[in-house]
Amino acid sequence: MGAKTALLAFADGDLRAALRGAATTRRAEAQEAVRRVHPGYRVEFDAETTLDDTNPSDDVTNVAVLPGAEIFCDRRFVLDRPSELPEHLLALGAGRRIVMHGMHSVVDWLCFAVWEDGRLIRSLSLSPDSGIMENIGEPYAFELPYWAGEHPVEPWSDEDEEPYPLPFHPLELGEEALRELFGFVLEGYPQPDELEAESVPMYGFQVTDPTGAEQAAREAMYAQISASMGPPRLFRMGPDGRMVEVSLDEL
pLDDT in tens, 77-104: 999 999 999 999 999 999 999 999 999 9
pLDDT score, position 20: 84
Q: What is residue 151's DSSP assignment?
A: S
Confidence of residue 225 (pLDDT cuts 50, 70, 90): low
Higher pLDDT, 203 or 157: 203
pLDDT at 25 > cutoff 90: no
pLDDT score, position 169: 95
Q: Which domain holds residue 174?
A: 4-250
Higher pLDDT, 221 or 141: 141
pLDDT score, position 249: 63
Cα–Cα distance for residue pair 208/97, rounded to 1 Å: 27
At residue 93, what is the residue type? G
At residue 162, what is the residue type? E
Cα–Cα distance for residue pair 218/42, rounded to 1 Å: 17
Among 31-40, 140-149, 209-218, the minimum mean pLDDT is found in 209-218
Phi, psi of 13 (to 5 degrees): -155, -125
pLDDT in tens, 116-164: 999 999 999 999 999 999 999 999 999 999 999 999 998 765 555 678 8
Pairing of strands 97-104, 42-50: unpaired
Mean pLDDT of 219-237: 66
Q: Dump the DSSP string for 23-88.
A: -PPPHHHHHHHHHHHSTTSEEEEEEEEETT--SPPTTEEEEEEETTEEEEE-GGG--SSGGG--HH
pLDDT score, position 21: 73
The domain total for the chain is 1
What is the chain's alpha carbon radius of gyration, rounded to the nearest angstrom?
20
Give the Cα-Cα-Cα angle 81, 85, 91 (nearest 5 degrees).
160
pLDDT score, position 248: 59
pLDDT score, position 123: 98
Average pLDDT of the chain is 88
pTM across the whole model: 0.85
